[in-house]
Amino acid sequence: MYSEEHLYSIALRECNFIGDINFSKLVRRFGTAENVWKTSKKELSKTDGIGTKIISDIGNPEHLKFAEEELLFCEKNSIKINLRHQNDLPFLLNECDDAPAILYQKGNFETKHKTISLVGTRNITSYGKKFIEDFFEGSKPHPYISVSGLALGVDKEIHEQSLKHQIPTIGILAHGFHTFYPSANKKLSEKILEENGGLLTEFNSSRKPDRENFIQRNRIIAGISPATIVVETAFGGGSVSTATFANTYNRDVFALPGKITDKYSQGCNQLIFQNKATAISTIKDLLDLLGLSDPKEKIEELFPHSKITVQLSENQELIYKQIIENPHITLDDLAEKISVSSHKLLPVILELELLGKVKSFSGRQFIAL
């Protein structure tokens, strides 16, 4: 189930001064974590941006011993170990410069479906609860995966509504799989796994739910999806950091506006005021912007139905067929499937859009009309 590369990756990531970015630098230079571990410090120090202090802990036998124990823990608990440098991470998360070098996984994560991240305060109000109920009621006919942080309040409501409407849901944790926080949501986490959902964390079994882990966890919630919805948050709430990460990654951010006197709407209002989020006006408009409405219905609203058929070129037909067979396919996945570079694909996709055959969405995803 696990390889030597898993062993050395865990050991390398456990070293002092080796964070996700330094890990990636070294693995890019030397090919594998095992090669990094076995290379001399003199040779390692020749890597751009890597000094003697950063590499000082590489090769420490204690870390290798820990990695062996971690593999046993993962095997015992049916935990999948995703390595970024082996392209195991979800595509959009992998695009982020600071994506986790290692992502531990329990349960399922069907990456062919669109993901939507929803976050908010632990102190959910009836206003936020009603919005979440309406959102899931409106979006249930469309295939997607919800992502949240499995905290109390908004997160809990998001996961519960997902389960109610049989929408797969992913919980991103701020600690290792040896524990669960908050304990009140442990049964909910088990239900998520039972209902074909999943749990993800970048933290190994030595990591507790420390305060700083939650901010670090938020970048994964933002990076894993093309869009993040902030339901309710106060000034400086944790969800503001998630929105900030999403902005940094050039993802769409939506926020539910509220009264200026409502504490848990003030953070959302601020994001909208600072142009860091789009205000949510109606559920229908939000679903349209997320690409969760029926595209044929939208086209019919704008243009009368026409029986005129368009003769596509050979290239257009090839690309159009792949998009039909793979709804919400990304540009990179499309390029890989037909062995054509993405910069050559874009002009053809634009032609198909102008012909009304294809629609593009955030995260460079496409569907056929």
Q: How high is the pLDDT of residue 309?
A: 64
What is the residue type of 134? Answer: D
d(CA 188, CA 69): 28
Same domain for 129 and 241: yes
Residue 71 corresponds to which tokens in the numbers above? Answer: 């593999």
Do the domain assignments include residue 270?
yes
Q: How high is the pLDDT of residue 267?
A: 97
Q: How high is the pLDDT of residue 354?
A: 85
Same domain for 127 and 178: yes
Q: What is the pTM of this model?
A: 0.81
* Sheet of 102-107, strands arranged across: 80-83, 102-107, 198-201, 169-172, 144-148, 114-119, 227-230, 252-255, 278-279
- CATH number, residue 69: 1.10.150.20
How many helices (DSSP H) and strands (DSSP E) are in the chain? 18, 12
Of 271, 290, 309, which closes a domain?
Answer: 290
Same domain for 70 and 34: yes
Give every residue of the chain whose pLDDT is below 70, as ranges: 294-309
Do the domain assignments include residue 321?
yes
Q: How high is the pLDDT of residue 298?
A: 53
Domain containing 55 equals 4-77
Q: How high is the pLDDT of residue 304?
A: 53
Long-range contacts of 312-319 (CB under 8 A, 24+ apart): 312/352, 312/355, 312/357, 315/348, 316/348, 316/351, 316/352, 316/355, 316/357, 319/345, 319/348, 319/349, 319/352
Q: How high is the pLDDT of residue 76?
A: 97
Same domain for 229 and 309: no
Same domain for 217 and 71: no
